[in-house]
Structure 1
C-alpha cells in the first residue's frame, strides 16, 4: 500500500468517526423533546466535561506515535509505524467522542441546548486534533 493510500484510508476513518460521534446526538435531538431538566442532566454534563481529561493522556500517545511514524518514513519499519499510529488513533477517537455521547444521553434527560452544543464542539475540537498532518521525513542527525 502506498503512502497516499494510507493517508486516504486514515482520512476516511476520520470522517467515519465524525459521523459516529455526532449521529447519536443528532438523532437524540430530533426524536426527543426537552422538558424540565433534572439533576441527572447536570451530572451528565459534568461527566462529559470530565471526559475531556481522558483525551490528554491519549493525545500524548498519539503525538508519540505520529513522531515515530515520521521517523520511520522511507524505512522498512514504515508499514508497522502506520499500523501503530492507526491503532493509537482509534483509541483516541473513542475518548474524543465521549463528550458528544454524554450530550446525546443528556438530551434524553432534558439537557439544555447550550451544554449540548458545548459538548458537541468539544468532541469536534478533539477530533480535529487527530487529523493526520502532512508528514515530512526527519533529517538524519549528523
Structure 2
C-alpha cells in the first residue's frame, strides 16, 4: 500500500467515524421518549458514564501517538506498508472508543437525557475525533 492510498483510507475512516458519532444521536432524537421513572432514573447515571468514558481514550491516544511515531520512522523504508496498516488498526480502535460518549447520548435520548447533556457528550466525542486526525508530517 502506498502512502497516498493509506492516507485516503485513513481519511475515509475519519469521515465514517464522524458519521457514526453524529447519526445515532440524530436518529435517536426522533424516537418517542420513554415516559416514567425508569427512564428518568437512568438519564443521570448514563450521562456520568458517558463522561467517564472520555477517560477510556487516554491509553488509546498514547498507543495512537506511538503508532504515529513508528509510521514516521517507517516512511521511505521497506516497512512503510506495514507501518500504515498498524497505524490504521490502532486508529480504528481509538475511533471506536472515541465514539462511545456519543453513542451513550444516543441511548439516553429516549430515556430522557437532557439535550444539553447530549450535546456535551457528542461534542466530547467530536473533540476526540479531532485528536485522532493524521498530521501533515506524514505526507
* TM-score normalised to structure 1 length: 0.90
Q: Retained in 1: the 8 A contact 2:50–2:104?
A: yes
Q: Retained in 2: the 8 A contact 1:69–1:85?
A: yes
Unaligned runs of 5+ in 1: 138-142
Cα distance in 1 for partners of 2:96, 2:11 equals: 16
Cα distance in 1 for partners of 2:7, 2:66 equals: 18
User: What is the root-mean-square deviation in Å for CA atoms of aligned residues?
Assistant: 1.6
Cα distance in 1 for partners of 2:10, 2:30 equals: 30
Cα distance in 2 for partners of 1:95, 1:52 equals: 8
Partner of 2:83: 81
Deviation (angstroms), 1:32: 2.9
Q: 2:112 aligns with which of 106, 110, 113?
A: 110
Deviation (angstroms), 1:34: 7.6
| Equivalent position SS for 2:137 | coil
Deviation (angstroms), 1:79: 0.5
Unaligned runs of 5+ in 2: none
Deviation (angstroms), 1:20: 1.3
Deviation (angstroms), 1:31: 2.5
Partner of 2:48: 46
| Equivalent position SS for 2:112 | coil
Cα distance in 2 for partners of 1:11, 1:60 equals: 20
* TM-score normalised to structure 2 length: 0.92
**1:32-60 Cα deviation digits (max 9, x unpaired):** 34867612100000000000110011000
